[in-house]
Structure 1
Amino acid sequence: MQKNTFHFNTNRLMVIINGALVGVLTGIAVSVFRMSIEHSLSWWRDMYTYIKNGHWSMLVLVVLINLVIGVIVALLVKKEPNIAGSGIPQVEGQLMDQLHLNYFSILWRKFVAGILAIGSGLMLGREGPSIQLGAAVGQGVAETIKVDHSQKKSLIAAGAASGLAAAFNAPLAGVMFVLEEIYHSFSPVIWLGALAGSVIADAISTIVFGQTPVLAVGQLPIIPVRLYGLLLILGLVLGLLGFLYQKTLLASQKIYQWTHLPKYLNGLIPLMLVIPLGLFWSNGLGGGNNLVLALGHHVPGIKILLAMVLVRFIFSMISYGSGLPGGIFLPILTLGALNGAIIGQVFVIFGWLSASYLIDFVVIGMAAYFAAIGKAPFTAIILIIEMVGSVTHVLPLAFVSLVAYLVVDLCNGAPIYESLLNRLLQNQEEDGGQQLITLEVPVLAGTVLEDREIRNIDWLSQSLITMVKRGNQSLLPAGDLILRPGDTIYVRTAQAESKKVRASLLLKM
């Protein structure tokens, strides 16, 4: 007679515990980062107001401060080039085994440089840097407790999700962003650790900043079904505008080649240009969450909205194209809100829409614009629900986000962070290319790996399969083992060949 025994499954418990530890550390780090930026932006707005009130001699001090900030950030970026930009492409590269980073160098330099650059009023977001800070924390924990390669990636993903959760008070969006945009696979180990970290990081952020949603714009009226034709137009227009944003952002990095400055000194240009902008429109400085909140109380006329969009679009490109540490996450949402408001005002003028629904177009515009640019509709929907604090608009959010996504897809637009990663990899020097690394590749339905025996798969000569993960089981890669959707294979290859090997294993049938 067989005796039934009970065993605790400690593997996933450890994933949750380690993810929660990463969430605690990331929540603290990102909360301090976020608070420092908010205080810095407040100080700069007060300073510009003070100067406009007749104290013009202080303008010399402002120029000197921005020059010092530019030099400090330039030195930090020169020493650690991987802190430039948002940091999300770097995290994606890590999880795809295409980049290998020094977590401590990233952590402290991104923290300091991010506060200085974003806090100076440039139109950059804190969310991308927060994600990279979280990923660095996750990597640091992984290397400290000495886990294997797969668990290390899980903790990096948990840190990235925790960073977004703490920056936006959006734990579910943090998890979904990692799965949809960064990791590109629904791995149980990845989402479990990411969820544990996100919940804890969000709890810490909530203790520090309160429970009010980041973009609490008030009560939203329910959009009647008869207006869904207008929502279709909204999605089509935002999809085209999102595609324009993608192309312009990628081109903005080339513009600085004309300056003939060393790449790490490009940040001095936006730091000087932000001064007249601050004197002219101090409330427009920063990522733009204050503008979205203002739209919740009053939506200006079309001329003012167009001016806001034009200024923010151009200066966002100047800010990000310089390579300064700072993201595009919140600036994208702000532009989406403003574009949604403009389209809504056009409908109001033609008598097709009541002005009471303008706030709906602001909120839906944020989701659709981000869904188009990032090609991450699930993240966009969940993020806006959590940031606005309303679940009554799931259907219109999903509808318009899907339309905008399809428009960009038909235009052959790629996810913006994927494009930025490809640009980053192209620009990097090819050193250490022969270093052997282990790729973690999911077996997806409809690809060349599905329902194939290992011996019948055309493996590239530079690759060697070492293990197959199926649920909680680790299987030896015997030749007659049939791979199933949901499996994860571990492949040893040279770093220089990693992108080619991964692509060959994810080909569609």
Structure 2
Amino acid sequence: MEKNKLNNLKLMAISLLVGLVSGLVVGAFRWLIGLLQSYWLYSFRLVHSNHGYWILIILGLLLTGLIAGYLVKNEPHAGGSGIPEVELQLQGKLQLNWWNILWRKFIGGILAIGSGLFLGREGPSIQLGAAVGQGISSKCSKTNQRVLLAAGAASGLSAAFGAPLGGTMFVLEEVFHNFSPRVWLNSLTAALAANFLVSNLFGQHPVLAIPYNHSFSVNLYWHLLVLGVLLGIIGRIYQCGLLNGKKIYAKIPLPRWLHGLIPLGMLIPIAYFVPQVIGGGNQLILNWHGFTTIEILFLVFLLRISFSIISYDSGLPGGIFLPILTMGALLGALYGMIMVKLGLLPRVLIVNLVIFSMAGLFSAIVRSPFTAILLITEMVGSLLHLMPLAVLALVAYLVNDLLGGKPIYESLADRMEHSNIADYADNVDQLTVSIFENSKLADKEIKDVAWPSKTLVRLIHRGAHDIIPTGKTKLLAGDLVVLEIDSNARGCIYDQIKDMQK
């Protein structure tokens, strides 16, 4: 027992190191993206007075597309958000060279996101953190490698958003799909370390410090139901668009690695005429009240949702995390302004809907309601209005579910898995699975379960106790079951156990 405690402390110390290094990497990533975006905005302001700058802008964006595309061409998994890759790595279905991912994602992400495309830094930050965790854990056991990879992913999101709790919850709820104490404890340690470092670099103010002091009274909760239905439907449309956008790109007679030139070319008129809407959307969320009419706000939303899909499906490094929150904020503002015009909502409550809708749309598209609630609470920096925020997140989630929506990152990972046969690790490995409430495995004795081939039940974590099982040991909801497996079949066994519980 003392040895286990010592090993746990050692793992936590390594997680702390992962968090600090991830914070340093993602902090530099954030800073350089902001610097590059400021340069592009300045360049587009200059072109209004001196048209000679057009040549420099066109050449600059062309070079951006060529460099970022070439980086992805030689390492396809450095493109996109990176979250599907991290999911597959944690499931044992994908093996990546962490250094190749780290430097290519870092440079390619700065170029693509910093250009002003509608891409977010959060997904790439998660993959950067995961790469750091993978690199630092290279000499650890395979089980600890996955724990540290998850810790790196959590620290990446924490550093990107200044949200250690949201970062930890996202990894547990959406990426790792496991609430193992070893995972959440080390993920939280790394996330707190990353947030500490980044806070000292960028300050301790919330990323989306939107003041809202008026309570959303219960008699107005019907707005949350109506808005939740709208967000669920829009979320499903966005999911379909994102998953099918690559089919359109495939019909364009250009090599895949050059597809990024298309959104970069489309960015030029957008940045020239409406520079305030470019980028991931952080400033747009903070300055949503700058759009004074419903018609303009609606057009901005249409631009954001369509160009977000075009930007992401081009394959350039960049995520959809912040773009989703931006679209949610715009929808909340749009709905609020319409209701105010109809005399059904006080104007001071529009800002409430802006904040609630960010959580609602994120919950609908990503299908991670707990993460949505925690993340928006941390980003805004207020715990005052959790109830309406949670209600809207739940309604949007349920509507999207009824429409057949699936978690977007899981859907992207499934497509990646089917199109790219992964390399697997080798030798004996361990897999920890949770026995969920209403699982078909709950209340069954171990001997009565048709376990996958080459699978041995080694240990059961039940509350604060560890149980060495026998064939007659009954599985209970809430148990964490440690399986010894053939590492070559880890991904297949993971899927089989998941199906067995349904």
Deviation at 1:411, TM superposition (A): 1.1
Question: Which secondary structure does the structure 2 equivalent of 1:18 belong to?
Answer: helix
> d(CA) in 1 for partners of 2:7 and 2:430?
21
> d(CA) in 2 for partners of 1:211 and 1:434?
41
Deviation at 1:501, TM superposition (A): 2.5
1:255 aligns with 2:248: yes
Q: CA 1:453/1:76 → structure 2, altered by over 3 Å: closer, same or farther?
A: same
> d(CA) in 1 for partners of 2:487 and 2:11?
28
TM-score where L is the length of structure 1 = 0.93
Question: Which secondary structure does the structure 2 equivalent of 1:442 belong to?
Answer: strand
Question: Which secondary structure does the structure 1 equivalent of 2:287 belong to?
Answer: helix
Deviation track 1:419-477 (CA, whole Å, cap 9, x = no partner) reads 1101111221x36479667351414133344344443321334x332633536888777
Q: CA 1:95/1:260 → structure 2, altered by over 3 Å: closer, same or farther?
A: same
1:464 aligns with 2:455: yes
Alignment of 1:86-97 (within 5 A): 86-97=81-92
Question: Which secondary structure does the structure 1 equivalent of 2:212 belong to?
Answer: coil
Structure 2: any 5+ residue segments left out of the alignment?
A: none
Deviation at 1:159, TM superposition (A): 0.5
Contact 1:220 1:359 in 2 (8 A): no
> d(CA) in 1 for partners of 2:487 and 2:433?
19
Deviation track 1:251-294 (CA, whole Å, cap 9, x = no partner) reads 11211011032212211111111112111111211100101110
1:330 aligns with 2:322: yes
Aligned to 2:166: 173
Contact 2:92 2:425 in 1 (8 A): no
Question: Which secondary structure does the structure 2 equivalent of 1:465 belong to?
Answer: strand
Aligned to 2:132: 137
Contact 1:467 1:475 in 2 (8 A): no
> d(CA) in 1 for partners of 2:457 and 2:221?
52
> d(CA) in 2 for partners of 1:98 and 1:441?
15
Structure 1: any 5+ residue segments left out of the alignment?
A: none
TM-score where L is the length of structure 2 = 0.94
Deviation at 1:109, TM superposition (A): 0.7
Deviation at 1:16, TM superposition (A): 2.1
Deviation track 1:358-406 (CA, whole Å, cap 9, x = no partner) reads 1111111101000100111111111111111111110000001000000
Deviation at 1:508, TM superposition (A): 3.0
Instruction: Between 56-65 and 372-381, report the one with greater CA deviation.
Output: 56-65
- Write the letter of the residue equivalent to 2:104: R
- Write the letter of the residue equivalent to 1:301: T
Aligned to 1:13: 9
Contact 1:73 1:116 in 2 (8 A): yes
Aligned to 2:45: 49
Instruction: Between 478-487 and 27-36, report the one with greater CA deviation.
Output: 478-487
Contact 1:443 1:489 in 2 (8 A): no
Contact 2:208 2:282 in 1 (8 A): yes
> d(CA) in 2 for partners of 1:72 and 1:191?
37
> d(CA) in 1 for partners of 2:26 and 2:230?
35
Aligned to 2:22: 26
Contact 2:212 2:352 in 1 (8 A): no
Deviation at 1:12, TM superposition (A): 2.8
Instruction: Between 301-310 and 212-221, report the one with greater CA deviation.
Output: 212-221
1:396 aligns with 2:385: no
- Write the letter of the residue equivalent to 2:416: L
Instruction: Between 273-282 and 387-396, report the one with greater CA deviation.
Output: 273-282
1:425 aligns with 2:417: yes
Q: Provide the aligned length of Structure 1 versus Structure 2.
A: 498
Aligned to 1:407: 399
Q: CA 1:457/1:8 → structure 2, altered by over 3 Å: closer, same or farther?
A: closer
> d(CA) in 2 for partners of 1:422 and 1:449?
24
- Write the letter of the residue equivalent to 2:435: L
Aligned to 2:196: 203
Deviation at 1:149, TM superposition (A): 1.3
Contact 1:171 1:195 in 2 (8 A): yes
Deviation track 1:297-317 (CA, whole Å, cap 9, x = no partner) reads 545211110111011111111
Contact 1:270 1:319 in 2 (8 A): yes
Match 2:287 to one of 285, 290, 294: 294
- Write the letter of the residue equivalent to 1:467: R
Aligned to 2:435: 444
> d(CA) in 2 for partners of 1:433 and 1:425?
12
Contact 1:443 1:483 in 2 (8 A): no
Q: CA 1:382/1:88 → structure 2, altered by over 3 Å: closer, same or farther?
A: same
Alignment of 1:50-449 (within 5 A): 50-53=46-49, 55-143=50-138, 146-295=139-288, 298=290, 300-428=292-420, 430=421, 432=423, 438=429, 440-445=431-436, 446-449=438-441
- Write the letter of the residue equivalent to 1:109: R
Question: Which secondary structure does the structure 2 equivalent of 1:220 belong to?
Answer: coil
Deviation track 1:216-274 (CA, whole Å, cap 9, x = no partner) reads 12233111111111121111111111111111111112110110322122111111111
Contact 1:97 1:439 in 2 (8 A): no
Deviation at 1:481, TM superposition (A): 4.8
- Write the letter of the residue equivalent to 2:433: P
Contact 2:158 2:166 in 1 (8 A): yes
> d(CA) in 2 for partners of 1:108 and 1:6?
40
- Write the letter of the residue equivalent to 2:74: K
> d(CA) in 1 for partners of 2:75 and 2:107?
12
> d(CA) in 2 for partners of 1:138 and 1:435?
20
> d(CA) in 2 for partners of 1:312 and 1:398?
25
Deviation track 1:345-367 (CA, whole Å, cap 9, x = no partner) reads 11111110111111111111101
- Write the letter of the residue equivalent to 1:72: I
Deviation track 1:147-180 (CA, whole Å, cap 9, x = no partner) reads 1111111101111110011000011000110111
Contact 1:235 1:403 in 2 (8 A): yes
Q: CA 1:243/1:456 → structure 2, altered by over 3 Å: closer, same or farther?
A: same
Q: CA 1:225/1:432 → structure 2, altered by over 3 Å: closer, same or farther?
A: closer
Contact 2:27 2:201 in 1 (8 A): yes
Deviation at 1:338, TM superposition (A): 0.2
Contact 1:97 1:437 in 2 (8 A): no
- Write the letter of the residue equivalent to 1:393: H
> d(CA) in 1 for partners of 2:424 and 2:368?
31
Contact 2:435 2:481 in 1 (8 A): no
